[in-house]
Amino acid sequence: MAVVAIAGAFALTGYTVWRHHDVADKDRQTAEFLAAARQGVVALTSLDFNNADRDVQRVLDNSTGTFRQDFQNRAQDFTTVVRQSQVSTQGTVNEAAVESMTGDSAVVLVAASSQVTNSAGAQQEPRTWRLSVTVARDGDRIKMSKVEFVA
């Protein structure tokens, strides 16, 4: 009877250790997806007309898949608009949460805001954004693969 109790205790301990490891992996993965979505949204909402090329490249560097391709196809026009409007925006992620997750991708809901300043230095009211951002592993990095503005 003692042998059965000891074997049961070992089995329970093994299961507990395995379960803890599984939870820790999911927590790590969630944190990675959240960080990538936050970084991508800040890049997307932080633009300076004086550095439009650099800022657009930063968005591209944080993107993959069809989102990257679509953004790259419009990058020249987007850069022109940013320069002509002569505004600067500084984005901030207020909250983010993983809605769903698979091994290599996740859908992250993001609440963000951006402070807009025009070339004369006048600040406008902060703009708020709610986004659904799909992030996906691209090599050794996680990048935005889809961005949707939600109501």
* pLDDT tens digits, one per residue of 96-120: 999 999 989 999 999 999 999 877 6
Candidates 86, 66, 77; CA nearest to 138 is 66
Q: What is the pLDDT of residues 119-139, one digit of tens each?
A: 766 678 899 999 999 999 999
Residue 19, pLDDT > 80, answer: no
Domain that holds residue 66: 2-149
Residues 6 or more apart in contact with residue 74 via CB below 8 angstroms: none
**Statement: residue 20 has pLDDT above 60:** no
- On the question of pLDDT at 7 being above 80, the answer is no
Question: pLDDT digit string (tens) for 44-82?
Answer: 999 999 999 999 999 999 999 999 999 999 999 999 998
17 vs 142: CA distance, rounded Å: 28
Burial class (CB in 10 A: 0-12, 13-18, 19+), 4: exposed
Q: How many domains does the chain have?
A: 1
- CATH code of the domain covering residue 63: 3.10.450.230
